[in-house]
Amino acid sequence: MAYLISLSRRLRETPFTPGVEATGVKAYTVYNRMLLPTVFEDMESDYHHLKEHVQVWDVSVERQIELNGADAARLMQMLTPRDLRKMQLDQCHYVPIVDENGKMLNDPVAIKHSDARWWISIADSDLLFWVKGLALGAGLDVNVFEPDVSPLAVQGPKSGALMERVFGPDVHDIRFFRHKRMAFMDTSFIVARSGYSKQGGYEIYVAGSQHGMPLWDALFKAGEDLNVRPGCPNLIERVESGLLSYGNDMTMDNTPLECGLGKYCKPVEGLEHVGREALALEAALGPERQIRAISILGEALGHARTAWPLIEDGARVGQVTSAAWSPDFRTNVAIGMVDAVHWSPGTELFVETPQGLREARVRGRFWN
């Protein structure tokens, strides 16, 4: 069954909504209480186009949290187990955020403007409330708020060519997960080499909603002969690429080690952060389950609306949380969380899908 979405002010529009709707968006999801496009032509056509050309994505839903004030750096390090002491001003850092029990609250990307000013580009939870609450409870000298910043992503193999036409050749100097301030008309934006696909690309942190549609229009005008199209994070591509989705593949029930994020959470002598004891204990014992790439055999399945149980010998040994038919790999690609005994590559399991029980294989790596 297909259902309509009822629109209201509560599901926030973005600076790019007029462009998204004029170019034929067909479906939305809601992410951080804001509209995120999910389909333009259809998911498979959008997928093929992303892998061959270049797309402009409205990812305003990656809301920013600004930490601003004397205690900003101290608060930022309290928030994450990742050691930020050597972070440079042009780096983007993926920073898992955990609570005092070491459970995932969000998996954002941080940018450091200065010791006294940071942005956190968030996944789908009101992390603002956690950061504000923690700062207030601990009596820190810092302002925490959501600034008027809406990221626009340019993704796909021709993204470099398109970005050069709008921002100039210096855009090619930006290395992966680094950023640089680039001029646009009478303003400038932070431009990062990043994005929620593995097809290459950039994210433009559009500060000031009034600049949204002029930038959108400039990208589409400059990219006409590159076959530029509107797009959005593509379920098939992201599962092939092993890009996790907070709320889908991991929730507040999971730890960063379970999510395969252990490299960002190594215990560091003298580093104080929330969840330190819980994560140190888990690092010593090892996680009980972990994210894995999973192939589901047989014909094309629908997408997972809920977690699908993974079964061995009649017992539940994990779950599949994202799944899609991959036209390029001719299998159902999936992301799942699998118990320790069963997570080795090649392990044969069953998965309970709405289309019946299916054979599944644990893989050693994702596809892209």
The residue from 168, 208, 247, 298 that contacts a copy of itself (CB under 8 A) is 247
Q: Is 13 in the site for a copy of itself (CB under 8 A)?
A: yes
Site string for a copy of itself, 293-322 (x = CB under 8 A): ----------xxxxx-------------xx
Per DSSP bridges, beta strands 55-58 and 229-231 are: parallel
Could you tell me the smallest distance in angstroms from the CB atom of residue 9 to a copy of itself?
5
Q: Is 39 in the site for a copy of itself (CB under 8 A)?
A: yes
Residue 206 · residue 192 · CB < 8 Å: no
Site string for a copy of itself, 199-238 (x = CB under 8 A): ----------------------------------------
Q: How many other C-beta atoms lie within 10 A of the C-beta of residue 245? A: 19
Identify the H or E element spanning 37.
Answer: strand 34-39
**Cα dihedral 21, 25, 27, 29 in deg (nearest 10):** -70
Is 192 buried (19+), middle (13-18) or exposed (0-12) by CB count in 10 A? buried
By C-beta, is 28 or 350 nearer to a copy of itself?
28
Task: Supply the DSSP string of 208-223, one letter for each residue.
Answer: SGGGHHHHHHHHHHHT
Could you tell me the smallest distance in angstroms from the CB atom of residue 75 to a copy of itself?
10
Using CB under 8 A, count the residues that bind a copy of itself: 54
Residue 151 DSSP one-character state: E
Q: Tell me the two tokens of residue 57.
A: 């994505």
Q: Is 124 in the site for a copy of itself (CB under 8 A)?
A: yes
Q: Is 126 in the site for a copy of itself (CB under 8 A)?
A: yes
Could you tell me the smallest distance in angstroms from the CB atom of residue 178 to a copy of itself?
29
The residue from 56, 72, 73, 105 that contacts a copy of itself (CB under 8 A) is 105
Q: Is 136 in the site for a copy of itself (CB under 8 A)?
A: yes
Q: Is 68 in the site for a copy of itself (CB under 8 A)?
A: no
Could you tell me the smallest distance in angstroms from the CB atom of residue 124 to a copy of itself?
6
Site for a copy of itself in 160-199 (CB under 8 A): none
Site for a copy of itself in 320-349 (CB under 8 A): 321-322
Residue 255 · residue 294 · CB < 8 Å: no
Angstrom distances, CA of residue 142 to CA of 70, 88, 180, 261: 6, 21, 25, 28
Q: Is 125 in the site for a copy of itself (CB under 8 A)?
A: yes
Could you tell me the smallest distance in angstroms from the CB atom of residue 187 to a copy of itself?
24
By C-beta, is 135 or 283 nearer to a copy of itself?
135
Could you tell me the smallest distance in angstroms from the CB atom of residue 325 to a copy of itself?
15
Q: Is 5 in the site for a copy of itself (CB under 8 A)?
A: yes
Q: Is 241 in the site for a copy of itself (CB under 8 A)?
A: no
Instruction: Starting at the earlier edge strand, list the strands of the sheet with 229-231.
Output: 179-184, 187-192, 201-207, 149-155, 55-58, 229-231
Could you tell me the smallest distance in angstroms from the CB atom of residue 170 to a copy of itself?
37
Residue 231 · residue 41 · CB < 8 Å: no
Residue 209, Ramachandran bin (φ over 0: left; ψ between -120 and 50: alpha; else beta):
alpha
Identify the H or E element spanning 57.
Answer: strand 55-58
**Cα dihedral 331, 332, 336, 341 in deg (nearest 10):** -40
The residue from 65, 72, 84, 131 that contacts a copy of itself (CB under 8 A) is 131
Q: Is 11 in the site for a copy of itself (CB under 8 A)?
A: yes
Which residues make up the interface to a copy of itself (CB under 8 A)?
Answer: 1-11, 13, 21, 25-31, 33, 38-39, 99-100, 105, 124-139, 245-248, 274, 303-307, 321-322
